[in-house]
């Protein structure tokens, strides 16, 4: 089976000139391997501590507010 060289979608039928998925022009003898197989694997995203940082920031803000009310109240 042939695959689109641009998006890797399977190409059905002989003589097809355009990819039915992405619309890319197909050349004679379309790629026989999906484009996704030619790409390097994606690296896992780094985990961030955004949630913990947000909780800490809100806690400090609430504590500061409570102290302000106690001192000025």
Residue 27 near residue 2, CB atoms below 8 Å: no
Domain limits at 61?
2-39+49-72
Q: Is residue 44 domain-resident?
A: no
> Residue 2 contacts by C-beta under 8 Å, 6 or more apart in sequence?
10, 11, 30, 31, 32
What angle is formed at CA 7 by the lines to CA 4 and CA 8, rounded to 5 degrees? 55
| pLDDT level of residue 6 (50, 70, 90 thresholds) | confident
What mean pLDDT comes out for the span 63-70? 94
Q: Does position 65 have pLDDT exceeding 70, yes or no?
A: yes
Residue 33 near residue 4, CB atoms below 8 Å: no
Q: What's the structural domain count of the chain? A: 1
Separation of alpha carbons 52 and 14, rounded Å: 56
Q: Does position 13 have pLDDT exceeding 60, yes or no?
A: yes
Tens-place pLDDT, residues 29-40: 555 666 666 677
Q: Is residue 67 domain-resident?
A: yes
- pLDDT at residue 60, rounded to an integer: 96
Q: Is residue 19 domain-resident?
A: yes
Q: Is residue 63 domain-resident?
A: yes
For residue 5, what are its two tokens? 């060289």
């Amino acid at each position: 089976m042939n695959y689109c060289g641009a998006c890797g979608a399977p190409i059905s039928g002989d003589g097809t000139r355009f990819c039915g998925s992405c619309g890319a022009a197909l050349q004679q003898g379309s790629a026989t391997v999906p484009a996704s197989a030619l790409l390097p694997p994606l690296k896992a995203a780094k985990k961030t501590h955004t949630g913990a940082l947000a909780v800490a920031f809100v806690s400090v803000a609430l504590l500061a507010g409570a102290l302000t009310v106690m001192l000025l109240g």
